[in-house]
Structure formats: C-alpha cells, structure tokens
Amino acid sequence: MTAQPDRIVHVTTVHQPFDPRIFYKQLASLRDAGFDTHLIAPHDRTEQVQGISIHALPQSTARWRRIALHPTALRMAQALNADLYQVHDPELLPVAFLLREATGARIVYDMHENYRAKGPILGRALRTLERWAFRWVDHVLIAEESYRSIVEAGPVSSTYIPNYFRPIGDARLGAPAKAGHTPARLLYTGTLSASRGLRTMVKLAARIRRAGRPETIDLVGICRYEKQRAWAKARIQEEDLNSILSRVGWDTYVPPSTMPPYYRRADVGLALFEPHPNHRGSIPTKFYEYLHYGLPLICSDIPRWRRFVERHACGAVVPPGEPAAVLDVLDEWRAHPERYRERAERARAAASRYRWKPVGQRLATLYRQVLNEKVTGASVTG
C-alpha cells in the first residue's frame, strides 16, 4: 500500500485565507513537496483552492470575537487529525498546546511580527504567551532575523523564513525604463494605515495637485481602520485629489493575484512608513515585490531600510512624514533621468537575491526534520 502523505494544518484567526505568506508561499510550497495541506482561517466558505483545503471560520475583525472562535478552531483542527499543526497568531498558542496534548502532533509557531511592539499591556501579554510557548513548541519560524534574539531567550529551535517574492498571478515584468523616461506614476501596495504612511501619501497627493505636477499615486490595499479611512476620504474631497490619488480596495481586501497590473504600469514603489518599532526591525515584503518589477524605492529613512537601499543602489530614502522630500527625489530624477533608469536597473538586478523558491524548498525539508524529530535549529537565510 502507498503511504499516505503527512497531513499539515495551518491555523489562523487573524489573517486572510489568501495571505501571501501563509497560502501562496508556505502552504503552496508544502503542497508542492507532497504534503496534505489544510488551512483553518476566517473565510466565507469551506473549499479547496489550488490543492489546499480551506476550512472556514466566521469572519471578524474584533479581537474578542476572534478569541471566541478558538473553541471552534480547536475542534476543527483536532477533527483533521494532522501530523503537524502550525499557528500564525500568538493568541492561538493555547489552542496549539491543547492540540499537542490531545493529538501528540508536532507544533510549529510562525512569528510574523515583534508583538512586544503592540503596546505596554497587549504587547507584554503576547510576549508572555510566546515565552511560555517556547518551552514546548517543536519549532519557531521567524519572518525577520531581528526576531531571533526573542526566540533565543527560550530552549526552542528557530529558523528564519523570510518573506521573499513568489510570483502570484501574472507576474510578467514590464518593459525596462527607456532612456529619458522620468517617473510619474507612484505606487503603494499592501495594508494601509497611518503608521504605514497613509497620511503622508495623502499630503503628498495634495502637494502634487497644488503644484500642478504630473505625478499620480495608486494606493492598492485595504485600510482596516474606519477613522483613518474617514480622515483620508475627507481630505481627498476637500483637496479635490481624486484625479491624483486612486484607491483600489480601500475597505476590501485586495487579493495578491490582482496586483501585478498595478506594478507593471508604475514607475516608483513607495514605503513612507512611520518609524514604529515593528517597522524598524523588519524589511517590508513590498520591497521584494517592487524590486521584481524593476521599481526604484522611495522609502522612509529607517536605518535597516537605508542599508537595504544603499546596498542595492535601488532608490532613495526620505525623512518619515515629509512629503516634500519625496518631491525633491522625483525632481532630481526628472532633471537626471539616467539616475532614475540606473536605479530601476539595479532594482531588477537585486530581485534575484530575494526569490521564495529556495526558501520554500528548505521549509519543506525543515518540516520533514520536525516530523522525524531531527531538528537541528539550522537557519534558513534564502
């Protein structure tokens, strides 16, 4: 008889089912490696997508309602009788512990953020949960090297699984910038919030309009904060910015598979974040996406980000919260189009260093090691 493939179940109550890291990178790579892959996540229906079985939880954005889903998530996960469970949210660690006790399955925890930065109360509570879990989980995946010091405080082994680029949808490249081309179409992709530069980009659009400049800005992503959406909408109407600033998604999640056309027609990728602790310790996934499409970056002057941009000569950094500095960079590139073209070429050249495929292959190898109780704690650097 042919042996049944090991069953893997990922569980989240926070993330969208088609979260790029969870669905398109990790689960897709595990499926390709021959695992029987399942995902328990908030969704409107239970279905199978691209060979991955999605088991739907009710959808909710409120934390207390998500926590109320934990008994349901536990029952669903236990019924699947997996060989290994991976949880993506620190609040699910007690559920993972109960699964371990009830099934004897292996447990992996994927640390997406430095949750201590969530604030003095919530952040401390989440860190306490993590430190407790480090005593009994089988392995921890970390999305950023900077999180390693957090995990090393406990006895558990960890592996760096970076959020490198994996093509989703039609990821064909656009044509390289031609000689004399000057950048006019600016792009931001991903979750929108004040800490991720929403206010700065709206103010940038206002400056563009008042000065009669040629630039436009595409914001492609969801803003989950109603008050921030209301502020931005009011400012856009007051300043008559609809011809300058387009919003795609806004109050609705934008599937990654629909984003490639926006990348291909853009000239510059924006990341005008505030220097929040989580931002200072990580490289945004959108950096790797911008590089793939040959988009020079204009990003906030955060030390880790500055080093990335300078290492690859792929863009420019500006002081956080200063839209005038963005216009200064664009003016320089307009006056010297060869500088813009060189940065675009450097972006394309750097992209090959940040591909997901080898990381996904190593993730599958790591899973086999965890299942065979042979984890050594070796680091995956991609």
Which fold does the domain 7-164+356-371 belong to in CATH? Rossmann fold (3.40.50)
DSSP H or E segment with residue 141: strand 139-142
CATH architecture of 185-354: 3-Layer(aba) Sandwich (3.40)
In terms of Cβ atoms closer than 10 Å to its own Cβ (0-12, 13-18, 19+), residue 372 is exposed
Q: How far apart are CA 309 and CA 283, in angstroms?
A: 11
- For residue 277, the model assigns a pLDDT of 85
Banded model confidence at residue 114, pLDDT cuts 50, 70, 90: confident
Q: Look at residue 74 in the predicted model and tell me its pLDDT.
A: 97
Tell me if 7-164+356-371 shares its fold with 185-354: yes
Mean pLDDT along residues 254-277:
94
The phi, psi pair for 30, rounded to 5°, reads -70, -40
| Residue 327 confidence (pLDDT) | 98
Domain boundaries, the chain: 7-164+356-371, 185-354
Place 45 in a pLDDT band, splitting at 50, 70 and 90: very high
CA distance 142 to 44: 29
What is the average pLDDT score of the chain? 92
Does 378 have pLDDT greater than 70?
Answer: no
Question: Does the pLDDT of residue 225 top 80, yes or no?
Answer: yes
340: buried, middle or exposed (CB in 10 Å: 19+, 13-18, 0-12)? buried
Residue 374 is predicted with a pLDDT of: 47
Is residue 376's pLDDT more than 60?
Answer: no
**Phi-psi domain of 240 (left: phi exceeds 0; alpha: psi -120 through 50; beta: other):** left
> What pTM did the predictor assign?
0.91
Report the range out of 149-158, 180-189, 223-232 with the highest average pLDDT: 223-232
